[in-house]
Amino acid sequence: MRTLRQLCRYNAWANARVFACCRGVDPTELGAEAKGTLGTIEETLKHLVGVEEVYLAMLRDRDLSSTLRPREEYYRQDLAWFVARIEELDRGYLVLLEEIDEPFLEGELKIPWFERPISRRDGILQALSHSAQHRAQVLSTLGERGVEVPGVDLVVMVQES
Q: Does residue 110 carry a pLDDT above 90?
A: yes
Which helix H or strand E contains 109, and what residues bound it?
A: strand 108-109
In sequence order, the β-bridge partners of residue 65 are: none
State the Cα–Cα distance between residues 51 and 127, nearest whole angstrom.
7
Rg of the chain over Cα atoms, rounded to whole angstroms, equals 16
Tell me the average pLDDT across 25-43.
94
Torsion angle, alpha carbons of 25, 28, 29, 31, to 10: 110
Of 86, 87, 84, 98, whose CA–CA distance to 4 is shortest? 98
Confidence (pLDDT) at 69: 76
Of 120, 119, 160, whose CA–CA distance to 9 is shortest? 160
Tell me the average pLDDT across 106-131.
96
State the Cα–Cα distance between residues 138 and 37, nearest whole angstrom.
7
Confidence (pLDDT) at 46: 96
Confidence (pLDDT) at 95: 97
Model confidence over 37-73: pLDDT tens digits? 989 999 999 999 999 999 999 999 998 887 877 888 9
Which helix H or strand E contains 29, and what residues bound it?
A: helix 27-31
How far CA 65 is from CA of 25, 53, 69, 139, in Å, comes to 33, 12, 8, 32
Domains in the chain, please, with CATH? 2-156 (1.20.120.450)
Confidence (pLDDT) at 71: 85
Pairing outcome for strands 39-40 and 118-119: unpaired
Helix then strand then coil, in percent of the chain rounded to 5, is: 70, 5, 25
Confidence (pLDDT) at 101: 97
First to last CA, the chain: 20
